[in-house]
Amino acid sequence: MGNLKSIRIKREVVDVTDDQSFDVRAVSTNDLMVLVSEHGATLGLIFGKLTGGAKAPGSLTTDTVQQLVFDMAREFPGIAAEIIALAADAYDPEGIKMAGDLPITVQVNAIEKVFHLTFASEGDVKKFVESLTRMLVGVSGALTNKAVLPSGTGIGE
């Protein structure tokens, strides 16, 4: 049996020019948490489009999600730059700026590669959305059941 520390994460090369490129990997849970902490409300809107765009449970396809990812990149380019920087392991102000300054065709290519590395199949997309929905419903329910302490701190049991 292998060692977790010896696993090599699959990466794909994104060409910028003939002699310049960078590589990206799939988005991880840690990356998702960074994005949620920075852009929670916006990601909530995007997730709403994602789950509202499916006509019936199970009708969600890779194409649907991919279109929403590209719409997000167009409507929220800062988030797209952050996704690219995270997937390139360059999540710092300089890396985010560089990702934002890339030509749009390179950005789209990078986002597409990150998407395909993150979701290997339509089943992966569906499982992710179902799991995320359950988690959000659970967190939402837990938050609405909390009482506010008289101290006004908002921390309750």
Amino acid at residue number 157: E
CA distance 57 to 126: 9
Range 26-54 average pLDDT? 77
Tokens of 135: 């988690």
Residue 24, pLDDT above cutoff 60: yes
Say whether pTM exceeds 0.85.
no
pLDDT of residue 112: 86
Query: What are the sequence ranges of the domains in the chain?
Result: 25-126
Residue 56, pLDDT above cutoff 80: no
Range 28-38 average pLDDT? 86
Q: What is the pLDDT of residues 88-120, one digit of tens each?
A: 999 999 999 999 999 988 998 898 899 889 877
Q: Show contacts of 104-110: CB within 8 Å, 24+ apart.
A: 106/14, 106/15, 106/16, 107/73, 107/80, 107/81, 108/70, 108/73, 109/14, 109/15, 110/14, 110/24, 110/84
Q: Show contacts of 74-82: CB within 8 Å, 24+ apart.
A: 76/39, 76/42, 76/46, 79/35, 79/39, 79/42, 79/43, 80/107, 80/111, 81/107, 82/34, 82/35, 82/38, 82/39
Residue 71: band (very low, low, confident or very high) from pLDDT cuts 50, 70, 90: confident
Residue 21, pLDDT above cutoff 60: yes
Tokens of 26: 């799939």
pLDDT of residue 147: 47
Tokens of 17: 């020019």
CA distance 90 to 92: 6
Residue 44 makes CB contacts below 8 A (sequence gap 6+) with none
Residue 125: band (very low, low, confident or very high) from pLDDT cuts 50, 70, 90: low
CA distance 56 to 38: 31
